[in-house]
Amino acid sequence: MLMKVNQGLFTSVAGLAFASVLLTGCGPKAEPAPTDSGSTPTGTTTPTTTSSRKAVTAAGVEAGDTIKIGVVASLTGDQKPWGDDSMNGAKLALKEFNDAGGINGKKAEILAGDSSSKAETAKTAAEKLLSDGAMALVGEVSSGATIQMAKVAFDKAVPVVAVGATRTDLTDEGNHVFRVCYTDDFQGPLMAKFAYSDLGLRNVAVMTDNKLPYSQFLSKKFSEKFIALGGKIVTEAFYESGQTQFSSQLTDIKSKTPDGMFLSGYFTEVGPIAQQAAQAGLKVPMMGGDGWDSSQLLTSGGDAIIGSYFCNHYNNKESRPEVKNFLDKWKAAYGSEPGTTMGALGYDAMALTLDALKRSAKLNSKDLIAAIDATENFKGVSGNITLKGAEGNPKKRALVVEVRPLAEGFQVFKKAYEPDDLK
């Protein structure tokens, strides 16, 4: 994902609009650029938050002469490809906000925090940003990291807008937590339906990273839907992030003679698993979630990962005007296209936060929470985002892509799913 790679080819997808995970968890449209016109109608009154989630009670953080927005990203560690892209996306959106004049004569600045691709470090980074006066936090991609950010932000009544964290119960941390991506409640069942209906699989083995809440939830949601459709989970094998040898798990899986495998973890382990599965003679279709979204998957997976499928949020090859506009600005700023979906989602998370700031009754974090919660039809690069009445979880469309060689674009579009397609 650090690598400058086109995110998949879906040049001729009718009405395609789509949205991309890590340490624990990780959308589409058609209108002018997000910061230019994507938002709910502006007004002087901010609707009151009416969430059933635990509500913040602190007074909140007031904006100073400069509006400070904290961004926590994996700037080092295994998830660095995601972290670099999400940070660059956030910087791009913030620059547009400032170039347009900011708000009430105030400009915004990013306070950057490095999670080092670890949940516990994300917590430390968030605490530092809050102590430095951040009135909002953007990040992370990993659900585990984002949950830690949400915990420390609750007592400060500071909103957290997740970039790619897809764990379903993330927003249960409080009414201050939001995301711009879809959830595992959607992508897990979606991949199960694709496996059952499109690939014709009936007996699937699941491999779960037991260190990643993202992986655990995704495996659970995939399995529940696959079984409901009439399929069978022949076994579930477990491993942990950072593991490099998977022979015992693959030997057990092979003995169950599955006709497919669902790998719910990150690209860092999925590539080696694919290589070792091929060496063990376990040659069946492999599937996964948005945690596969990095061209480094090809480096570690080689030919063994080619022809596999995973779910994702967005693609550089989409023909929507928002995507072209975004890519033009990204290339002008950074010289190439974003290597991962997190560039678009990082941009959307920051742009939505700043847009809500313009609609906030007052320039403080508690009113900002209410303004974010009232967002309707925000025209994001990854798709329309509505948070009003959504408990922090926007309904987003998703794509299934096939892993192909780099020369073919790494990700080739196979199918799009709308939020209601699984009903």
Express each pLDDT in 326-370 by its tens digit.
999 999 999 999 989 999 999 999 999 999 999 999 999 999 999
Q: For residue 243, is it within any domain?
A: yes
d(CA 163, CA 349): 6
Question: pLDDT tens across 46-89, in order?
Answer: 334 455 899 999 999 999 999 999 999 999 999 999 999 999 99
What's the confidence (pLDDT) of residue 135? 98
Looking at the structure, tell me whether residues 281 and 412 fall in a common domain: yes
Looking at the structure, tell me whether residues 411 and 279 fall in a common domain: yes
**113 and 126 in contact (C-beta within 8 Å)?**
yes
DSSP state of 198: I
d(CA 326, CA 78): 26
Looking at the structure, tell me whether residues 261 and 405 fall in a common domain: yes
Per-residue pLDDT at 43 exceeds 60: no
Q: For residue 6, is it within any domain?
A: no
What's the confidence (pLDDT) of residue 423? 77
Over residues 124-129, the mean pLDDT reads 98
Cα angle 312-316-320, degrees, rounded to a multiple of 5:
100
For tokens 């083995």, the residue is 205
Looking at the structure, tell me whether residues 236 and 91 fall in a common domain: no
Question: pLDDT tens across 264-311, in order?
Answer: 999 999 999 999 999 999 999 999 999 999 999 999 999 999 999 999
**pLDDT exceeding 90 applies to what percent of the chain?**
81
pLDDT-derived band of residue 382, with 50, 70 and 90 as boundaries? very high
What's the confidence (pLDDT) of residue 22? 35
Strand 260-263 with 286-288, pairing: parallel
Asked whether the bond before 127 is cis by omega within 30 degrees of 0, the reply is no
Looking at the structure, tell me whether residues 306 and 365 fall in a common domain: no
d(CA 208, CA 222): 11
d(CA 278, CA 281): 5
What's the confidence (pLDDT) of residue 52? 80
Higher-pLDDT residue of 193 and 49 is 193
Q: For residue 9, is it within any domain?
A: no
Q: For residue 7, is it within any domain?
A: no
d(CA 91, CA 98): 11
* pTM, rounded to two decimals: 0.84
Per-residue pLDDT at 8 exceeds 60: no
Q: For residue 268, is it within any domain?
A: yes
Q: For residue 345, is it within any domain?
A: yes
For tokens 């010289």, the residue is 335
* Six-digit token string for 14: 């009718």
What's the confidence (pLDDT) of residue 9? 33
d(CA 192, CA 181): 19
pLDDT-derived band of residue 395, with 50, 70 and 90 as boundaries? very high
**116 and 57 in contact (C-beta within 8 Å)?**
no
d(CA 220, CA 208): 9
What's the confidence (pLDDT) of residue 42? 32
Per-residue pLDDT at 31 exceeds 80: no
d(CA 364, CA 367): 6
Over residues 403-408, the mean pLDDT reads 92
Looking at the structure, tell me whether residues 175 and 294 fall in a common domain: no
CATH of the domain at 228: 3.40.50.2300
Helix axes 321-334, 342-359, angle to 10 degrees: 100
Residue 370's φ and ψ, nearest 5 degrees, are -65, -40
Looking at the structure, tell me whether residues 153 and 203 fall in a common domain: no
**237 and 253 in contact (C-beta within 8 Å)?**
yes
Q: For residue 238, is it within any domain?
A: yes
Range of the domain at 129: 53-181+317-397
What's the confidence (pLDDT) of residue 320? 86
DSSP state of 24: T
What's the confidence (pLDDT) of residue 65? 95
d(CA 266, CA 208): 10
Residue 34 β-bridge partners: none
Looking at the structure, tell me whether residues 68 and 165 fall in a common domain: yes
Higher-pLDDT residue of 49 and 419 is 419
How many of the other CB atoms lie within 10 Å of CB of 276? Answer: 17
Among residues 25, 258, 45, the alpha carbon closest in space to that of 149 is found at 25
Among residues 257, 282, 281, 290, the alpha carbon closest in space to that of 22 is found at 290
* Six-digit token string for 69: 């927005």
Q: Which residues contact 295 (CB under 8 A, 6 or more apart)?
A: 1, 3, 5, 339, 406, 410
Looking at the structure, tell me whether residues 304 and 255 fall in a common domain: yes
Q: Is 45 exposed, middle or buried (0-12, 13-18, 19+ CB in 10 A)?
A: exposed
Residue type, 276: Q
d(CA 371, CA 415): 34
What's the confidence (pLDDT) of residue 50? 52
- The region of weakest confidence among 233-247, 340-354, 395-409 is 395-409
* Six-digit token string for 19: 């949205």
Q: Is 180 exposed, middle or buried (0-12, 13-18, 19+ CB in 10 A)?
A: buried
Helix or strand run (H / E) with residue 144:
helix 143-154
Per-residue pLDDT at 238 exceeds 80: yes
Looking at the structure, tell me whether residues 247 and 387 fall in a common domain: no
Looking at the structure, tell me whether residues 283 and 408 fall in a common domain: yes
Among residues 363, 342, 366, 351, the alpha carbon closest in space to that of 174 is found at 366
**261 and 207 in contact (C-beta within 8 Å)?**
yes
What's the confidence (pLDDT) of residue 86? 98
Q: How many domains does the chain fold into? A: 2
**pLDDT exceeding 70 applies to what percent of the chain?**
88
Higher-pLDDT residue of 6 and 239 is 239
On average, the pLDDT of the chain sits at 89
Looking at the structure, tell me whether residues 220 and 305 fall in a common domain: yes
Over residues 178-200, the mean pLDDT reads 97
Q: For residue 247, is it within any domain?
A: yes
**321 and 30 in contact (C-beta within 8 Å)?**
yes
